[in-house]
Every structure is written in C-alpha cells, then in structure tokens.
C-alpha cells in the first residue's frame, strides 16, 4: 500500500525550531518529487515547499523562505522539513505529499502532523 | 504568485442536485488545474487533474471543464458522500497555489 506517515509535530515556542519527518512506503520514493502542504486551523490549504528527486531543486512559499528547509534521504525513504524562527502563523497541520510522476499534481497525501506555535 | 479565486465559498444543496463550483486564475495556467476533496479531519484527495481528467476510481458524476482562466467542477447528482470542502489548485509553476475552498453543505 502506498503510504506517507508524518511525525514530529507538537507544541513549540515562537522563535524555536523543529524538524518534521515523513516516512514513505509502497512506492519507489527516489523517483518522485515531494512536497509539504499546510492547513491552519479552520483555513484552506497552503503549499509550503517542493523538492525534486536528487535535492537539486527546491522551491518555497515566500513566507517560509529562509526559515524552512526541505530535504530528503532516499536511502531511508524519508522527507524532512526543518522549520526555524517559528512564528504563531506557522501553526497548522503539515501534510507530506507526493507529486504524480507524470501529471505533477499531489496524488498521495499523508494524514498530517499538527504543529502549534505558542508561548 | 498566481491567485486562485473560488466561488461560492459555501454552497447548500440536496442529495440529487447538480452542483457547480467555479475557480478563476489571476493569469493563464493553461490546463494545469486540479480539484481536491477534503472531509473534516482528513487529508485532501485528488479528484481531477489537467482541468478535466478524472483520477482513476473517482465516480463519473464528477467532471471538470475549462474556459480560459475559468475552471468548473461539476457534480452531476450530489450523493451523501460528496458533502465536503473542495479546493482547486494551479500547478503551472513550481509555486503551486490553492483556491480558498468551497464547502458543500446539506440543505
């Protein structure tokens, strides 16, 4: 079964750091672009970052550029999101998503991990 | 960034109704437009890609169309399982943006 499982969420302080992880299974992880999408409580979906297969291309939404870093370990079938200089507005459910190999849409989603930034 | 504007924000409908949701892009995205369905507490699910291509396994009552920068998701006969929030998304650039969502409620 194709599956993405996020971990690393919780309650964190403003200005702090955390790293989200996503474990992939059921497909050849190294063949796919991957991304993070977030959803603040009661709000809509917001694309955060995208990474290609060999980490040579990375793209970020403006509000996280310079604070967040997306990375991956193809040997461990894992995707990561390092989040620094945390702000209250980063509070959201963070979803790990797979981009379809041909159509570039988000075809597989994890269940998400909740990140709360509060003092 | 390309802005995606959905309408309406909320839609009240009954089982069996034909439902139409519109999404307008601030500039051309060609047909690089997807639709997702999200139920409360769950991750979104892909329904349609390339504006009108139905993902395998999605019921045929769902369809998508495009006219310039305006895109439409139609549910031909609303079923109880279809009450959810729907999002459009453009993926014509690496900076992929979503619409604000349309909640389909029971009338």
B17-72 pLDDT tens trace: 999 999 999 999 999 999 999 999 999 999 999 999 999 999 999 999 999 999 99
Closest CA to B43 of A116, A39, A19: A39
Residues of B in contact with A105 (CB under 8 A): 34, 46, 49, 89, 91
The pLDDT-based confidence of B15 (bands split at 50, 70, 90) is very high
Rounded-to-integer distance, Cα A21 and Cα A6, Å = 6
B8 preceded by cis ω (within 30°)? yes
The pLDDT assigned to B91 comes to 95
Taking an 8 Å cut-off on Cβ atoms, the answer to whether B50 and A103 are in contact is yes
Rounded-to-integer distance, Cα A67 and Cα A17, Å = 9
Q: What value does the mean pLDDT take over residues B7-26?
A: 97
The pLDDT-based confidence of A5 (bands split at 50, 70, 90) is very high
Residues of A in contact with B47 (CB under 8 A): none
Rounded-to-integer distance, Cα A4 and Cα A32, Å = 13
- DSSP bridge partners of A30: none
Closest CA to A26 of A98, A116, A112, A93: A98
pLDDT of B77 above 90 = yes
A63-119 pLDDT tens trace: 999 999 999 999 999 999 999 999 999 999 999 999 998 888 999 999 999 999 999
The pLDDT assigned to A103 comes to 83
User: What phi and psi values does residue A9 have, to the nearest 5 degrees?
Assistant: -75, 170
The pLDDT assigned to A102 comes to 86
Which residue of B lies nearest to A107 if distances are taken between CA atoms? B46
Could you say which of B44, B95, B97 has the minimum Cβ distance to residue A59?
A: B95
B81-97 pLDDT tens trace: 999 999 999 999 999 99
Min Cα distance A66 → chain B (Å) is 16
Which residue of A lies nearest to B48 if distances are taken between CA atoms? A105
The pLDDT assigned to B12 comes to 96
Burial class (CB in 10 A: 0-12, 13-18, 19+), A75: exposed
């Amino acid at each position: 079964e194709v599956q993405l499982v996020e971990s690393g969420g919780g309650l964190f302080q403003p200005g702090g750091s955390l790293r989200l992880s996503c474990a992939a299974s059921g497909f050849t992880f190294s063949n796919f672009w991957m991304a993070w999408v977030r959803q603040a409580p009661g709000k809509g979906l917001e694309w955060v970052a995208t990474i290609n297969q060999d980490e040579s291309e990375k793209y970020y939404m403006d509000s996280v550029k310079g604070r967040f870093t997306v990375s991956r370990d193809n040997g461990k079938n894992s995707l990561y999101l390092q989040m620094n200089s945390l702000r209250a507005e980063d509070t959201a459910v963070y979803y790990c998503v797979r981009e379809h190999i041909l159509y570039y849409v988000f075809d597989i989603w994890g269940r998400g991990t909740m990140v709360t930034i509060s003092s | 960034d390309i802005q995606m504007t959905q309408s309406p924000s909320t839609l009240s409908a009954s089982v069996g109704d034909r439902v139409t949701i519109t999404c307008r892009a601030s500039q051309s995205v060609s047909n690089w437009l997807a639709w997702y369905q999200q139920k409360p507490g769950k991750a979104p699910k892909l329904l349609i890609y390339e504006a009108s291509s139905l993902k395998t396994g999605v019921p045929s009552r769902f369809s998508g169309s495009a006219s310039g920068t305006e895109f439409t998701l139609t549910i031909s006969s609303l079923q109880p399982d279809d009450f959810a929030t729907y999002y459009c998304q453009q993926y014509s650039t690496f900076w992929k943006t979503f619409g604000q969502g349309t909640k389909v409620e029971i009338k």
